[in-house]
Amino acid sequence: MALIADKLTIKETFSKELPADPIQENTRRQVEKAAFSYATPKKTANPTLISTSKETADLIGLPDADLKSESFLNVFSGNEILEGTKPYAMCYGGHQFGHWAGQLGDGRAINLTEVEYQGKTWALQLKGAGPTPYSRSADGLAVLRSSIREFLCSEAMFHLGVPTTRALSLALTGDEVLRDVLYNGNSAYEKGAVVCRVAPSFIRFGNFEIFASRRDTETLKKLVDYTIKHHYSHLGAPSKETYVAFLREVAQRTMKMIVHWQRVGFVHGVMNTDNLSILGLTIDYGPYGWLEGYDHGWTPNTTDRQQKRYRFENQPDIGLWNLLKLANALYPLIEDAKPLEDILQEYKANYEPAYHQMMKDKLGLEGSTESDKELIQQLEEALHLTETDMTIFFRNLANFKKETNIETALDKEFLNPVLAAFYKPEELTGNILAFWKTWFTNYIERLTVSNSFDAVRKTKMDVVNPKYVLRNYMAQVAIDAADNGDYQLINDFLDLFRQPYAEQPAMEKWFAKRPEWARNKVGCSMLSCSS
């Protein structure tokens, strides 16, 4: 049987070019002046493969046939170390919920190696592969439910066109893991699992912050220079100007990523600086969620339910807040606050028009008119009047005909194309109905002013308004089945999300509002960080 090691081209740079923690024992500690510590994945009792992503395997040059090999399972469950590699955990810090938390690091992620394929390099990282020097008081493991969520969502986000880390494989470890899901003293054993994640790099804002916080400018510079050399090489040789350009591009990428989140209704849930990728990729799928009812104030994360710091509408501002922390961390290398402040100002100035354009695309508006901004704001207001499903509303809005005569339409007949989006259609009366009537009258007027045919608009809208997103309850249905040993739905969903913008008649049942049973169910509307 072919060995996975023979199929991959190992090309390690992070651990070769950056300073290593000299201590090689796997004991929990503060790690100074080092970008990482060597760490060996924990052996698993009885690993079984649940699912693999062939698209991610393609990235690293692994043919389909190899995904079923014993060697693949051994490597990507952590039981076998690839020859010539030395796995490691990264050192980083972070601001958690607005407060500096000191050293965090890869507490349960272990980088296996980096590989090169078709001119690109990819870091392969196991999540849930056992303790590292950064595990603090936790076990370094991950449970099946959170691993399913990470695996499916990473791939779904990619196919939705949202910058993200990828997932190669999902395997059961055969070990049991103790978790207290609701943090209420009711711990229980759950199935352990491990996901292999893939990205050009897993460096986060927090990797830079940790050195700045320790006034270790020397290691900070090494990490910044490394990041630019390998991931931002088009910016040129290291210099103060290059560092400024680096922050500017990180800011732009972060902003673009967040505009995509707002477009598809994704709420990350834990936008701490240790969970923001320096490459502008969505990273660390924890208690994330998808807007079902369009509610700007929603967050899926129960740990954040009081403050709602990471609610949907706050994501752009938190992106900026996190960039400020990154700017502070880079300051010792630049020693001039002005260009850094300018970048943060630019973020603010650029977000508005980017969001505006994205919303115009969702509405299928061509050209621009002075009233577009108001039209968008009023729609956002209308969507909050009675619970309205975001995905269904925008997807079906493409079916609205600009010839509709609202004046002569009976009652709420004009809403028929989008009616399926309303959770309580009986609430569409009085002022609410009047508000919608006005809005659609304005929408028709706008389409008449500068839009081409309905069919053209629909084609354009259908590539920005997904038909299928990983609704919170869908992930939970897949998890419940998997807990009972049935993994079919995981693969069905993986397949469904390969084409989230396409009509898939056989999968139409997933183009539906959240069922009532899921409204207040743990895992569907409430998620804790316990994973």
- Cβ proximity to ligand AMP: between 28 and 498 the closer is 28
CB of 141 to ligand AMP, least distance (A): 6
Among 270, 291, 323, 383, indicate the residue that binds ligand AMP (CB under 6 A): 270
Is residue 465 a contact partner of residue 401, using CB atoms and an 8 Å limit?
no
CB of 283 to Mg ion, least distance (A): 7
DSSP states along 22-89: S--S-------S-SEEE-PPPPPSS-EEEEE-HHHHHHHT--GGGGGSHHHHHHHTTSSPPTT---EE
Is residue 238 a contact partner of residue 228, using CB atoms and an 8 Å limit?
yes
- Cβ proximity to Mg ion: between 82 and 109 the closer is 109
432 binds ligand AMP (CB under 6 A): no
The amino acid at residue 68 is K
Torsion of CA 11, 12, 17, 23, to 10 degrees: -160
Category of 105 on φ-ψ map: left (φ > 0), alpha (ψ -120 to 50) or beta: left
CB of 230 to Mg ion, least distance (A): 22
End-to-end CA distance of the chain: 35
Of all residues in the shown chain, the one whose CB is closest to ligand AMP is 107
Binding residues for Mg ion, how many (CB under 5 A)?
A: 2
Residue 274 annotated to the active site = yes
- Cβ proximity to ligand AMP: between 195 and 390 the closer is 195
Is residue 315 a contact partner of residue 267, using CB atoms and an 8 Å limit?
yes
Q: What binding mask, one character per residue, do residues 271-290 give for Mg ion by CB under 5 A, x or -?
A: ----x--------x------
Is residue 144 a contact partner of residue 192, using CB atoms and an 8 Å limit?
yes
Angle at 358 between CA 355 and CA 363, to 5 degrees: 125
Among 80, 114, 284, 304, indicate the residue that binds ligand AMP (CB under 6 A): 284
- Cβ proximity to ligand AMP: between 479 and 527 the closer is 527
163 binds, among ligand AMP, Mg ion, none (CB under 5 to 8 A by kind): none
- Cβ proximity to ligand AMP: between 134 and 497 the closer is 134
Label residue 367 exposed, middle or buried (CB < 10 Å: 0-12, 13-18, 19+). exposed
The amino acid at residue 201 is S
In angstroms, the CA 377 to CA 332 distance is 41
- Cβ proximity to ligand AMP: between 512 and 529 the closer is 529
Which residues on adjacent β-strands are paired with residue 176? 191
Contacts of residue 159, Cβ cutoff 8 Å, sequence gap at least 6? 497, 498, 499, 500
> Which of 92, 51, 162 lies closest to 488 in space, CA to CA?
51
- Cβ proximity to Mg ion: between 288 and 290 the closer is 288
In angstroms, the CA 100 to CA 161 distance is 32
The amino acid at residue 281 is L
135 binds, among ligand AMP, Mg ion, none (CB under 5 to 8 A by kind): ligand AMP
- What residues from 491 to 530 belong to the interface with ligand AMP (CB under 6 A)? 529
Among 52, 219, 275, 314, indicate the residue that binds ligand AMP (CB under 6 A): 275
Which residues on adjacent β-strands are paired with residue 196? 126, 169
* 176 φ, ψ (degrees, to nearest 5): -100, 145
In angstroms, the CA 133 to CA 384 distance is 47
CB of 498 to ligand AMP, least distance (A): 27
CB of 60 to ligand AMP, least distance (A): 24
- Cβ proximity to Mg ion: between 47 and 287 the closer is 287
CB of 311 to ligand AMP, least distance (A): 17
H-helix segments, 77-174: 144-160
Among 7, 42, 95, 108, indicate the residue that binds ligand AMP (CB under 6 A): 108
CB of 111 to ligand AMP, least distance (A): 12
Residue 479 CB neighbours (<10 A): 21
- Cβ proximity to ligand AMP: between 96 and 442 the closer is 96
Q: What binding mask, one character per residue, do residues 125-144 give for ligand AMP by CB under 6 A, x or -?
A: ---------xx--xxxx---
Among 91, 104, 203, 334, indicate the residue that binds ligand AMP (CB under 6 A): 104
396 binds, among Mg ion, ligand AMP, none (CB under 5 to 8 A by kind): none
190 binds, among ligand AMP, Mg ion, none (CB under 5 to 8 A by kind): none
Q: Say which of 21, 274, 284, 304 is annotated catalytic.
A: 274
CB of 150 to ligand AMP, least distance (A): 10
Q: Which stretch binds ligand AMP (CB under 6 A): 106-114, 246-254, 419-427, 471-479?
A: 106-114
CB of 274 to Mg ion, least distance (A): 5
Contacts of residue 86, Cβ cutoff 8 Å, sequence gap at least 6? 12, 15, 38
In angstroms, the CA 280 to CA 65 distance is 32
292 binds, among ligand AMP, Mg ion, none (CB under 5 to 8 A by kind): none
Among 107, 161, 238, 332, indicate the residue that binds ligand AMP (CB under 6 A): 107
Catalytic amino acids?
A: 274
Query: Which residues lie near Mg ion (CB under 5 A)?
Result: 275, 284
Query: Which residues lie near ligand AMP (CB under 6 A)?
Result: 104-108, 134-135, 138-141, 270, 274-275, 284, 286, 529
